[in-house]
Amino acid sequence: MILDSATALLRLLPAETAHKATIFLTRIFGGLAPAALPPDPRLAVRVLGKTFSNPIGLAAGFDKNAVVPNQMLRFGFGFVECGTVTPRPQKGNPRPRLFRLEEDRAVINRMGFNNDGMAEAAVRLARRPRRGIVGINIGANKDSTDRIADYKTAFGILAPYADYVTVNVSSPNTPGLRGLQGRDELTRLLAVLTARRAEVAPTMPLLLKIAPDLDMQALDDIAAVVTASAIEGLIVSNTTVARPSALKSPLAKEAGGLSGTPLFEPSTHILREVKKRVSPALTLIGVGGISSGAHAYAKLRAGASLVQLYTALAYEGPGLVVRLQRELLQCLERDGFRTIAEAIGAG
């Protein structure tokens, strides 16, 4: 496959240049690639009022501007999440702002919600053939004087073109944004968004993406607010500002959010803690450090109904998605589960 063969060459480029090249190649060649494995009914998951052909999704951050969602679905993802998209176009933080930690199979980014804005994203999503499940991740502009109003505006414009909407209040790269995870601010934000949803898209699933750096009291507060708000799901988790002592790369001290292999254990721990605190009716999506079927399986057993990845693609290419599906099936067979649904929460 062209994109898989190009992965090693792309890693010779600076990280952000490589990402732009990857989007370009995916746009040109992704639609020509043969479709991935035929859907295996054992991997199907029914949540959020939809049937996902498999639980492996592409996390937000790869396709910020909704340029290639359908092409990425062809590589075998069960769903794709575009964004983060803000109301107005935004350049993001100064470069360099994306760093590969090769020795750690990790990435640090401080992109700062660089994107073309909601109007451009809406046009692209409106034009795409509606095949597969595509979500949109929304955020606030860095210089906004009313960030909750930003989320309300972006939801109203983008929800008609998505299968679900994720509210990103957990990026570490927009100063003050994570404050919206506090009890009072989060209560107000979700009240505004659920009211807006009732007006423009009453059946639209609404999810909240949280940080992995929260203490147990903060998780208690988030669980209480989410339960009262009646949103449909939580994505656990975003990147971390922590720097594990085991990191080997000389770039480990760069500012920004850390993703990849070092995030697997802490994000899975937070996922387990969230699962203890919320209703079984709430859909959990596990994100952080997934690069194998065993990783995905661990998050599913910890309580996630779906999982997402991104960083591992930079190291292994899009062929990773099919490999993860095969490895998930091996995990099911080993443990005697007939379907992935039986394994969810079994840990």
**Number of domains forming the structure of the chain:** 1
Question: Which of the residues are catalytic?
Answer: 171
| CATH number, residue 28 | 3.20.20.70
CA dihedral (330, 335, 341, 344) in degrees, to 10, reads -110
Distance CA 333, CA 193 (A): 42
pLDDT score recorded for residue 36:
75
Picking from 228, 233, 231, the residue whose alpha carbon sits closest to that of residue 274 is: 233
pLDDT at 9: 87
| Residue 259 pLDDT | 98
Q: What percent of the chain has pLDDT over 70?
A: 97
Region of 176 please: left (phi>0), alpha (psi -120 to 50) or beta.
left
Q: According to the model, what pLDDT value does residue 11 have?
A: 87
pLDDT of residue 294: 98
Rg (CA), the chain: 18
**Measured on CA atoms in the order 209, 347, 268, 69, is the torsion positive or negative?**
negative
pLDDT at 1: 53
Low-confidence ranges of the chain (pLDDT < 50): none
Domain residue limits at 270: 2-343
* Predicted local confidence at residue 347, as pLDDT: 87
308: part of which helix (H) or strand (E)? strand 306-309
The secondary element (H helix, E strand) that includes residue 99 is strand 98-101
Please give the pLDDT value at position 112: 98
d(CA 202, CA 141): 25
The span from the CA of 73 to the CA of 58, in Å, is 9
- pLDDT score at 3: 57
